[in-house]
Structure 1
Amino acid sequence: MEILETFLLPSAWIALLTLTFLEIVLGVDNIVFLSIMSSKLPLEQQPRARTIGLSCAMLFRILLLFCISWLMKLTQPIITIDTSWFDGSISGQSLIVFFGGLFLLYKSVTEIHHKLEGMEDHGREAKKTSFISVVVQIIALDIVFSFDSVLTAVGLVSFNEFGYVGAMSIMVTAVVISVVIMLLFSGPVSRFVNTHPTIQILGLSFLILIGVMLLVEAAHLSQISIFGSVVGEIPKGYIYFAIAFSLLVEFFNMKLRKGSKPVQLKDSELVDNKNQENNK
């Protein structure tokens, strides 16, 4: 009954639509990474990897929403550093964001290397790109992005206005709707990304950008000060503008060079060979 009363409020629908939109925006970088990672698998396994990845993202976000009290404790300092030139209060949340940024940087640079330089040992590459390893990497990134998503949801929906049950129903509904929308569009997005090598490299470059942003955000959450200068937060709007502008330029380039054959990336050649062998 309390849930029904909540959704009879116009403010609840405004909060739901706003949060759903933000969840989709925050999930775009997740879809890009998921598309690039799943492209290393045979074609018949790619939809399954995307579905498992996004389903895990939804489960992690809902689980974290019900662990809000524990999540809020992560913002409490666990290590305090106070020296003449460096000071800060490191929390569990900042550590998760920091290691998530490092993981994103490592994977992005590694993927760019594999796509451009390739691997000398194809057997070793095949082992690294097994279905389980790809899903595990996707899940690891889902955990990092889930924290950002949940903290955004908690900050947007007021418990005082809607009550605990009402606020939770709004946040869970927004998460489910956003993931369902991402599932519907993950296939077309993945096909578009995987058939255009420049989009793949741009996507990996965006992930490097997001990784750097996460490192700076971790320092900001820890209130780190170096020689008296406090590390500030990078506004996400700057990141999204850079991504949107880069994609716009690339779309114009694709339009002007329509009909030209794109280059084949190293791991794309390997996957194509695997698919041809499987079809024989």
Structure 2
Amino acid sequence: MDALTILISDPAAWAALLTLVVMEIVLGIDNLIFISILSNKLPEAQRARTQRLGILLALVLRLGLLGTVAWIAQLTQPAVTLLGHAFSWRDLILLGGGLFLVWKATREIHHHVTHADDARGATSAVVPLTVGAAIGQILLLDIVFSVDSIITAVGMTSHMPIMFVAVIAAVMVMLFAARPLSRFIDRNPTIVVLALSFLLVIGMTLIAEGFGSHVPKTYIYAAMAFSAFVEAMNMLARRARSKRTDAVTQ
């Protein structure tokens, strides 16, 4: 208790907590986009429950991994050597997750493009999922993103309470943001391809990280933010044209 009191009164600890919360939220964007896109393929009545379950699974995984920090640290040690390159378990997890994400995003983009003229709309054109299949895929990516998130947290601070609070705060933000993001993607079909492209880039980044090539995430998120800004401008332009057309026809 005394150690916790000292930690609370330490300004450096609060600065570390704020930095780590922001970092965890940024890292959670990838997971949140995937959950939103995947849950939108389910019937409307099942989407919110699936999103909450997927995010709560992420929380359980991350808190569980925080309880095994010593084991997590070992994941960065070389485990196997293939073609003269040493891979740690973290590298293998990132490679597997990256390959799955690239395959999933490519498959979804293909279905979205080939069914672009479907009268039912873009989101319903994708091959539907069952809740079990959706939760399974969300859980698989939760594991990948959780390992990356916890290793990042361990690298930024050695105080376990700070890590726990930061992870819980970031997951709570994801929980509140999931439904609005899902609705926004569902109401704006052009956003689907953009979001899937983000997942494709993230998957390639995970593969590069798995091979030991560090890709600064600042560049990735800056490119994503710029693409989102351009798409927002396009949406505003389309909305303005639609209003002008409606005004002329009336």
TM, length-normalised to structure 2: 0.88
Structure 1 residue 110 displacement after superposition: 1.1
Query: How far, CA to CA, are the matches of 2:127 and 2:214 in structure 1?
Result: 38
RMSD over aligned CA atoms reads 2.0
Structure 1 residue 24 displacement after superposition: 0.5
Find the residue that maps to 1:170 and give its secondary structure: helix
Code of the aligned partner of 1:149 = S
Structure 1 residue 125 displacement after superposition: 4.1
Query: How far, CA to CA, are the matches of 1:260 and 1:57 in structure 2?
Result: 42
1:174 maps to which residue?
166
Matches within 5 A, 1:1-280: 1=1, 2-81=3-82, 87-118=84-115, 125-126=127-128, 129-157=129-157, 159=158, 167-220=159-212, 232-258=213-239
Find the residue that maps to 2:86 and give its secondary structure: strand
1:124-152 C-alpha deviation (Å, 9 max, x unpaired): 944xx011111111111111000111011
Query: How far, CA to CA, are the matches of 2:16 and 2:232 in structure 1?
Result: 33
Aligned length, in residue pairs: 234
Query: How far, CA to CA, are the matches of 1:111 and 1:80 in structure 2?
Result: 33
Code of the aligned partner of 2:150 = V
Give yes or no for contact 1:97–1:218 (8 Å, CA) kept in 2. yes
Code of the aligned partner of 2:111 = H
Q: Which runs of 5+ in 1 are unaligned?
A: 160-166, 221-231, 262-280
Code of the aligned partner of 2:139 = I
Q: Which runs of 5+ in 2 are unaligned?
A: 116-123, 243-250
Query: How far, CA to CA, are the matches of 2:145 and 2:86 in structure 1?
Result: 22
1:246-273 C-alpha deviation (Å, 9 max, x unpaired): 0000000111111678xxxxxxxxxxxx
Structure 1's consecutive aligned runs of 4 or more residues displaced over 6 angstroms after TM superposition are none
Give yes or no for contact 1:76–1:91 (8 Å, CA) kept in 2. yes
Give yes or no for contact 1:35–1:194 (8 Å, CA) kept in 2. no
